[in-house]
Chains A and B, each alone.
Chain A
Amino acid sequence: MVEPPQGQVLDDPERRREESAESRQRVEGDWDERPFKVDRAELARFDLKRAGLPDMSVESAAKYIEEHRASRPWLAMTDRACPEARRIIAALDAAGGHAHIRHEGWVTEEANRSRVAYREDPAQLDPERRHAGIDGLRENDKGHRSGDVTTRITDPDAFATAFIRGVEHPRVREALDRPTGSSKWPGEVAIPISDLLDPDDCRLCTGWRLEPVDGNIDTARQNRSDWVTARAAGRKPDVPEPRAAPVSTFRGGEIVFAFAPNDSEKRYQVVTMFPRPAHQQSDVPLENQLKE
């Protein structure tokens, strides 16, 4: 049993895990839970069509959220948002993007830890299927994917602000303004967090990182895959349980925008947006990375 600061005994294993992950994030990460200083007028001015999103008023966004709240529980995070941010997030949801589903405040610390460690998708609403690693958004029961780091922007106003500022960034615009066709999709664009939000707002981001195995991240990812597959099949995994640790800081980090075609609109859209801790650049010059 764990005795939380409030003195309440947590005998519910799920709540205990949530409490543990939050505590670890507070201690080992750089998380600052102060409110984001939102510019509501800036959010209100944003033309949703610039991002290929359906047009919505503040009122129609509120109606959308109320109508879909039960089936799309991530919309509950907009309860903490200002009405103007709610409009952006409701439009994102209606357009089928998943940034706000996997990278916003609805995702708890434990959900992010479980995603990177066990490939459990926060967008998968069926607990058994989530436990089995089945993606909540892809069709045909495909397995969920996770990289080395799972992250979120904890404040919905900050999330919406980063999104609208990113959409107006020239490099993102270049991708969004390209016509779709048979050639390669636009590559991901990474913009420094400090270009989109105040420098200290990086502390509104949290994340979890898969721990390498014997110093090797390739091995850690493969072990995770084997472990998840064995668990889903009801077998005892023959590799160690994957481990994850909080990202220590997002200072110097980026917000990544990824694109996919919106076939009905015949244009690209931001299919996801997520913060990423500072890229660990190799100190070795390229020519020295290459073998003779």
Chain B
Amino acid sequence: MAPFYWERHPNGPFATLIEIATTYLDPENYNPEALERLARQEGDQEMRVFKSELREAVKDPSQLPGDELSRSVQYEDGSPEAFLHRLWRDLYGDETP
């Protein structure tokens, strides 16, 4: 079975959010500055999906699939809610989710 959530469920909810967050924020390859640069590319279709999924997750974290976000990203914020709010703030500043 594929190890990553987005490989097991390519069309699953929040697959793009979890994949991109893992690619840049996995503690073994932690590159938040590169993710911030990528987030500024509003013309990038994948990043539009990412932003839309992040917005949706910030508004209602209970829709996240199980503990997939926690297992993949391994954030230290204490909860998916805290991580998502921080990520939104880091990437999109004061913009309303």
Residues of A near any B CB (own CB < 8 A): 102, 145-148, 182-188, 190, 217-219, 221-222, 224-225, 254, 256, 258-260, 271-272, 274, 276, 279, 281-282, 284, 286, 289-291
Tell me the nearest residue of chain A to B34, going by C-beta: A185
Tell me the nearest residue of chain B to A254, going by C-beta: B3
User: When the two chains form their complex, are residues A187 and B74 in contact, meaning their CB atoms are under 8 A apart?
Assistant: no
Rounded to whole angstroms, the CA-CA distance of A279 and B67 in the bound complex is 13
Q: Could you list some 22 contacts between A and B, CB below 8 A?
A: A145-B27, A145-B30, A146-B27, A147-B26, A147-B28, A184-B38, A184-B47, A185-B23, A186-B23, A190-B4, A218-B75, A218-B78, A218-B80, A260-B29, A260-B31, A271-B29, A276-B3, A282-B68, A284-B66, A289-B65, A290-B65, A291-B63
A134 shortest CB reach to chain B, Å = 14
User: When the two chains form their complex, are residues B9 and A286 in contact, meaning their CB atoms are under 8 A apart?
Assistant: yes
**Interface majority SS on A: helix, strand, loop or mixed?**
mixed
Beta-carbon contacts under 8 Å, B17-68 to A: 19-20, 22-24, 26-31, 34, 38, 41, 44, 46-47, 62-63, 65-68
User: Contact string, B1-21, partner A, CB cutoff 8 A, digits 1/0?
Assistant: 101101011001100000110
Which residues on B sit within 8 Å (CB–CB) of A282?
66-68
B76 within 8 A of A: yes
B79 within 8 A of A: yes
Q: How many residues of B contact A (CB 8 A)?
A: 40
Residues of B near any A CB (own CB < 8 A): 1, 3-4, 6, 8-9, 12-13, 19-20, 22-24, 26-31, 34, 38, 41, 44, 46-47, 62-63, 65-68, 70-71, 74-80
Which residues on A sit within 8 Å (CB–CB) of B76?
221-222, 224-225
Which residues on A sit within 8 Å (CB–CB) of B34?
185, 260
Rounded to whole angstroms, the CA-CA distance of A286 and B13 in the bound complex is 9
